[in-house]
Structure 1
């Protein structure tokens, strides 16, 4: 009987108008794709597999070489480099699409860029900047990851980009990894998976292809594949338990593209990097993990590939292995080498008709799925007003504060913003940006000093110490993307020996405090990656926290022998409204089972704050004790996370002591 009912439901569903319409549209797309491939010549077919990097003319627009690649070679996608204004970038991308429209086949382009940190990586003066991925991980909030991706998706779409190389799905299990670092959400597989899944959904609901990278994981490497080929030696079990789950989460959430890693995964293929390995791309990704979206390579001009195989040979090997699109970066000659090698291999039969047909079907279907044939252009005149608008900036700034992690505080922070004390900022990078933000926050003078390199000399440090004598309190921003240079830890120690209160903030990796554990206070901002791409949102948020904004971050990594994953301090409350703000912060972290639990806590705290204003001590105490009882009840009924429960109980106890 149950079987009959199930079959009846299936028949009714498949016979419904909606199902039939969807099926008809899919069949129409497939028919159009088949027809287009039949009409394409060999040159046009190979062009769809090649993604050159755009080149600019003196006017800042795509140059003649780029036009030739699109119109004469029929390339199907481009990766855009360089920084522009929002309107200029939209016009630039429209010009690329116009070149493609003015071809025999009139196939729209995939317009792509490195957009891990949103549109700001291409239009830094106009677009919204976000915490780096590790900063988002520090919020412990999949809601934050989704919001990031939705805003970034909206903004890059407004600029004419339809494909983003984000999210980074690597699990940063090696603290000294020189190329991933703060580009990864966390060292913990579960958190990376949650964040990755949320961002896939966020990007793609805004009409932008998401890309999980770098498959099957670049988080445990010791070298940078931009400069040399690396191998990872862990076994298959570690691969499957630690590094693959975020990619599987992305696949389960419907991701449309995955980028390969130029890394040898010895457990799968001890001879070839993933980009060139059929065992990895076809065997593992296509067959074992059931991925049928686009596989795009990382840049093939990276030395891990170019120095060992050459761009042309590697391109052929990668398509044979199962990749669909070759990212042909590098010089114009290198880009042409990639195209020519693929074309020659196709003519000789080294690349089979079947293999090329499979990739063409995937590429063209995705272009139909994203409606690029009918909607390839954007309104450049609207881009500047929309990109980086106030609503987007406000959400990003809140996310920034929620990411800053107060790791240590020996009664030094927050600095008093109303004090006329002089603040001294001493570091190796972005010192002026930090000093300018402090000047906005502080009533006192601000002095600054920046070393000439990331590794200050003893003479440099002595100069900083002498200048520190004029200050009352000191903030030291340190920066590392692998090991912290000795000069920076010596700088922190020397400034601490002045006897003045010293707080340090890591601008890059959060592990810096291992090298100066005796510092009075320490925050992690996760603001800068190994390329030090500008990130005013996170830098400003760090300064805001130094001067009293509530830090919301929890370490998404372990600082060995010092601080555990998930560690993060809060400032003590001055009144009930501070605790109410903390409740809101935990709500953004998904710490409550439902909205009703949040509302009950807020109602209690609103009453407390009312009695605080009336200086009705007994009523404040009674309602705060009731607040603590309510927290107990929520914990018993699993309505609140353990971290939120413990922190709010501690905050409540501090406030009670102030009134008792």
Structure 2
């Protein structure tokens, strides 16, 4: 990228950050302690009920107008919750109004402590606020782009939009090293399979978030990248030895700690090399022994969601809540309904009352929560302007830079016979076929192509033989074919059959892996292949920027990506073609 492009970005980002914060925090300076904000003085005034409330994060709900519900009010005012995880507000102005109402309710409590409002913004605020925000590449796309500056820019754009909407705390970056291609939950959420790449980009984003006034949360400690199971559904175990843990999975977290990360999220994963019995979230050996004592982290430890099956089905959320705090966690993420939030608060209150949770342990965690609120001046920036949230989020500068990042991430893996690029002025008819998000991709292809574009999609992610036959019939009138494949682990066999059947028509075929880049192993004879890393495994969230970038690369824009992982038996880490 040329220097004028970077200058334009810097002006746009700093302007947006300034608009987002009242009073502004300079983008170039780390957040400082707010004037007169004293965690020890606040702690001394607190009752036991107020203390345990600060240790629970609730996922509060919304009504049809995206406003907080009565149960959300009760969570803040009756349970004395200290932080919330966003629901999924439709637009930036609605997110801002929601945050403001929650902060008003918090202001009206006895102590008037502000809330920490958090979100999962791994690929920008679009991750949770779907409309009017800026979709950014997933972490693996940034890994493919191989550019620390782009990783920093992605973080600062995310921070600017998040702060404008009233969010202080982001559960990113993902610090997991995705060494297992079959990993069903991390995948494109990781920067890649190489420790050095992941560590470099994690450090860059942690520093960028801090300077932009947003709490970064590297996750999932001590590493979720080598798992074969989704911890939302069952409890994964990793069996590598301590040397592998130290050499491969811990360095990104070490770099994050050195970069000043204020928060780290736990993994619901049993790491046998440290504790063969308990998942990291519940393990004193992992959280206190490894993270606190060995690695010297004194920031805030937050658990992953405690209603995930890895925890809930094995220990129950009530018992696990107390176990996590005793292990060394400071904040328990209580997703679910009001009853779940109340259960978490009650569990901690009962444990403090009967002595199974010590006052010293509770005070240490509450002090960290209060210190973070002081450091990031949450009380000084309690409210945001919904109109400013709309103006900052998704602005044209951010959208332009996101698309540049997307093209830099898009990886041309194969181009036998120079199938690509297509001529946008040819007037040829293009068929876009696939099992996921086909119409969305086709719309972006149509925005670039001069000729007609048709879309065909199967009913499920595993096309039947009858569906494949229908796709082949549709291909009869096409001059060229794009096939979008998607996997969250092993590619469903019907998708591979679809690619092969369309290739057998004799028409020029290019495949686009819109999720994991490993799909090519299931249809190794396709002539052209592009990886975009654009769709997450479990939720299949659409990253519109990566579809736009793919369309531009297909029609001649220079792809910038290099594989951040190995496609076993076919292409090595670092491979990437140019036109």
- TM-score scaled by structure 1? 0.82
Q: Which has the higher contact order (CA 8 A, sep 6+)?
A: 2
- Aligned partners of 1:54 and 1:62 also within 8 Å: yes
- SS of residue matched to 2:512: strand
- Aligned partners of 1:83 and 1:121 also within 8 Å: no
Q: 1:276 aligns with which of 275, 282, 293?
A: 282
In the TM superposition, residue 376 of structure 1 has moved relative to its aligned partner by 1.4
Distance in 2 (alpha carbons) for counterparts of 1:430 and 1:149? 26
The corresponding residue for 2:530 is 523
The corresponding residue for 2:496 is 489
In the TM superposition, residue 178 of structure 1 has moved relative to its aligned partner by 0.3
- Aligned partners of 2:217 and 2:261 also within 8 Å: yes
Matches within 5 A, 1:330-345: 330-345=336-351
Q: 1:176 aligns with which of 166, 169, 182?
A: 182
2:552 is aligned with 1:544: yes
2:576 is aligned with 1:568: yes
The corresponding residue for 2:476 is 469
Q: Which ranges in structure 1 are unaligned for 5 or more consecutive residues?
A: 1-24, 572-660
Distance in 2 (alpha carbons) for counterparts of 1:60 and 1:455? 35
2:440 is aligned with 1:443: no
1:442-475 deviations in whole A, cap 9, x for unaligned? 1212122111111111111111111111111110
In the TM superposition, residue 31 of structure 1 has moved relative to its aligned partner by 8.5
RMSD of the alignment, in Å?
A: 1.4
Distance in 1 (alpha carbons) for counterparts of 2:484 and 2:65? 39
- Aligned partners of 1:54 and 1:79 also within 8 Å: yes
- SS of residue matched to 1:112: strand
1:36-77 deviations in whole A, cap 9, x for unaligned? 111111100111101111122344211111111111121110
The corresponding residue for 1:506 is 513
Q: Which ranges in structure 2 are unaligned for 5 or more consecutive residues?
A: 1-30
- Say which one has the larger Rg: 1
The corresponding residue for 1:313 is 319
Q: 2:436 aligns with which of 412, 429, 433?
A: 429
The corresponding residue for 1:205 is 211
In the TM superposition, residue 83 of structure 1 has moved relative to its aligned partner by 3.0
- SS of residue matched to 2:218: strand
Matches within 5 A, 1:252-401: 252-401=258-407
Q: 1:86 aligns with which of 68, 81, 92?
A: 92
Q: 1:112 aligns with which of 96, 102, 118?
A: 118
In the TM superposition, residue 121 of structure 1 has moved relative to its aligned partner by 2.0
- SS of residue matched to 1:68: helix
Distance in 2 (alpha carbons) for counterparts of 1:255 and 1:49? 19
- Aligned partners of 1:316 and 1:351 also within 8 Å: yes
In the TM superposition, residue 29 of structure 1 has moved relative to its aligned partner by 7.7
Q: 1:555 aligns with which of 522, 542, 563?
A: 563
In the TM superposition, residue 28 of structure 1 has moved relative to its aligned partner by 9.6
The corresponding residue for 2:9 is none
Distance in 2 (alpha carbons) for counterparts of 1:384 and 1:28? 27
- SS of residue matched to 1:202: helix
Distance in 1 (alpha carbons) for counterparts of 2:402 and 2:154? 7
1:125-146 deviations in whole A, cap 9, x for unaligned? 1000011110010001111100
- SS of residue matched to 2:433: strand
Distance in 2 (alpha carbons) for counterparts of 1:308 and 1:356? 25
- Aligned partners of 2:34 and 2:374 also within 8 Å: no
Distance in 1 (alpha carbons) for counterparts of 2:66 and 2:564? 40
- TM-score scaled by structure 2? 0.93
The corresponding residue for 2:254 is 248
- Aligned partners of 2:32 and 2:375 also within 8 Å: no
Distance in 1 (alpha carbons) for counterparts of 2:47 and 2:338? 23
Where in structure 1 do 4 or more consecutive aligned residues deviate above 4 Å?
A: 25-31
Distance in 1 (alpha carbons) for counterparts of 2:443 and 2:294? 52
Cα 1:28–1:447 change in 2 (3 A) is: closer
- Aligned partners of 2:219 and 2:267 also within 8 Å: yes
The corresponding residue for 1:228 is 234
- Judging by fraction of residues, say which structure has more helix: 1
In the TM superposition, residue 27 of structure 1 has moved relative to its aligned partner by 10
Cα 1:478–1:31 change in 2 (3 A) is: closer
The corresponding residue for 2:23 is none
2:196 is aligned with 1:185: no
The corresponding residue for 2:8 is none
- Aligned partners of 1:29 and 1:365 also within 8 Å: no
In the TM superposition, residue 30 of structure 1 has moved relative to its aligned partner by 9.7
